[in-house]
Amino acid sequence: MYRLAKEHKEEKEAMRDVYCNALMQLAEKNPAVISVDADVMHSMGTLEFHKNYPSQAINCGIQEANAVGVCAGLSVTGFIPFFHTFSTFATRRVYDQVFLSCAYSGANVKIVGGDAGVTTAVNGGTHMPFEDMGIMRNIPGMTVIEPTDSTMLRSIVPQIANNYGNYYMRLCRRSTMKIYDDSSEFEIGKAAILKEGEDVTIFANGIMVHEALKAYVMLEKQKISARVVDMFTIKPVDADCIIESAKLTGAVVAVENHNIINGLGSAVAEVLSENYPVPLERVGVLDEFGEVGDQNYLMKRYGLTAEEICRKSIKAIERKK
């Protein structure tokens, strides 16, 4: 079960440190868990793992394609490799390796991308992935997740290790907003319903969950009641929750820190149009490349804001008429 935290403020611990600690806890219990790096341990926060579990850590150097293949090879000998690097390098740079050596081969490789969309910030457009979730979603059998805060991340990492199969998890490396009470637990593939409402459903993930909660308050002031859902797994997406929400509210907004093509918005659209078509509006990056800037600037630049969610919510509701 999950509960919202009393207050949503910036967390003390960075997501990368939470991730590394969760991984170390797994490694302590299970010698098959292996950390595989490609020269960004300092950035990804996995240095502590390397120090504490040297026999379970491999730093391949700057060779992502080989690192993914090594993971596939390790996994077919019974290990559970976690490969982590910046999202761009963990996905589009190694797409064929992930596709063939991991997914098609029936391997058991866990891929973690460290830079969710605009959280890449000052690394800029070359490093800013707005396509990573989409391209990974296209690989058969791949589970695609974006945990929302540290509590969810802690709950999710052991599930990824314990379920056989290939996973892509997208993180932001720095601290994020606290969304959930520390006692919360989550199940991969099961959406978390955060607010009940009647007029519109807002599906969000990652850093956009906090914006969706802000939009909820703003809409409430305009007498609009929004259902807010954290859709942290975009594949397999929680179709039951999408259909139920569409039936309850009759209008939907999907919100993501990602290109609106082939991410959360597309996943929601697919379920709606095949099962229960209702007006859908999407908030996300409108098929553009990333650019350099701090996170706040970029969120405004790409329209990843509570204001934009409100605007699209009202538009979706109007389309019901």
Partner 1 sequence: MKDYINTVTMERFAADIRIQTILMFAHAGYGHIGGAMSISDVLAVLYGGVMSIDPKNPSWEERDRFVLSKGHSGPSLYAALALKGYFPLEELKTLNRGGTRLPSHCDRLKTPGIDMTTGSLGQGVSAAMGIAMGVRMKGLECYTYLIVGDGELQEGQVWEGVQFAAHQKLDHLIAFVDDNKKQLDGMVEEICEPFDICDKFRSFGWNAQIVKGYDVKEIYQAITQAKKEVGKPSVIVLDTIKGKGCNFAEVVDFNHYMVISDEMAEESIKEIEKKLLKE
Report the interface residues with partner 1, using CB under 8 A.
Answer: 55, 58, 60-61, 63, 65-79, 81, 96-97, 100-101, 104-106
- Name the minimum Å distance from CB 44 to partner 1: 19
Q: Residue 68 or residue 231: which is nearer to partner 1 going by CB?
A: 68
Among residues 64, 131, 256, 281, the one annotated as catalytic is 64
Q: Cβ distance 35 to 12 under 8 Å?
A: no
- Copy the structure tokens of residue 301: 């630049």
CA distance 254 to 283: 6
DSSP 77-113: TT-EEEEEE-HHHHTGGGHHIIIIIIIITT---EEEE
Among 207, 303, 176, 191, which residue's Cα sits nearest to residue 246? 191
CB 15 within 8 A of CB 169: no
Question: Identity (one letter) of the amino acid at 194?
Answer: L
Q: How far is the CB of 141 from partner 1 (least distance, A)?
A: 11
User: Shortest approach of partner 1 to residue 95 CB, angstroms?
Assistant: 11
In the complex with partner 1, which residue's Cβ is closer, 23 or 70?
Answer: 70
Measure the CA angle with vertex 188, ends 197 and 27; round to 5°: 140
64 is catalytic: yes
Least Å distance between CB 87 and partner 1? Answer: 20
Q: How far is the CB of 300 from partner 1 (least distance, A)?
A: 40
Six token digits for residue 151? 């509590």
In the chain, % helix, strand, coil (3-state, to 5) comes to: 45, 20, 35
Q: Is the peptide bond between 236 and the residue preceding it cis, with omega within 30 degrees of 0?
A: yes
Please identify, using beta-carbon distances, which residue of 72 and 161 lies nearer to partner 1.
72
CA distance linking residue 165 with residue 158, whole number of Å: 13
SS3 call for 315: helix
- Which one, 2 or 53, has the nearer CB to partner 1? 53
Nearer to partner 1, 36 or 202 (CB): 36
Q: Which residues are catalytic?
A: 64
